[in-house]
Structure 1
């Protein structure tokens, strides 16, 4: 099975370690937002939708 993008960013705290080394303001907010969404994907952090059939048949 291929790793999720989130696994690549989270393994060994890669994303946070890299982000901390960048000068203030060097990383655009949209990049931080995008990586945050990638890392939260598949979790309940960003909310979720539950689909149910009205009848079990």
Structure 2
């Protein structure tokens, strides 16, 4: 089981009281907007996959799981990384 993952505040805003689902049901969104929010909501979850890291020592049982990120500019976490890289150049 993955531990230590805390949903990002923007994710909580979209998922509280089924807000995103209600907004989707109302319609009027472009496909690219739906895709961006869907990626952001999946970021840091098992939906995008998990990498498993273990020790090379056969006697060691330590395993670390890391979830994949979405890489979307619309994601607060991934978008900040991209912005920081852009401003550093």
TM-score by length of 2: 0.46
Distance across 2 between alignment mates of 1:10 and 1:36 = 11
What count of residue pairs does the alignment treat as equivalent?
51
Structure 1 counterpart of 2:30: 28
Q: Aligned-residue CA RMSD in angstroms?
A: 1.9
Structure 2 counterpart of 1:13: 18
Q: CA deviation at 1:47?
A: 1.4
Provide Cα deviations, 1:8-50, integer angstroms capped at 9, x if missing partner: 100001011011112xxx2111111111111111111011334
| Structure 1: tracts of 5 or more residues without a match | none
Distance across 1 between alignment mates of 2:30 and 2:20 = 14
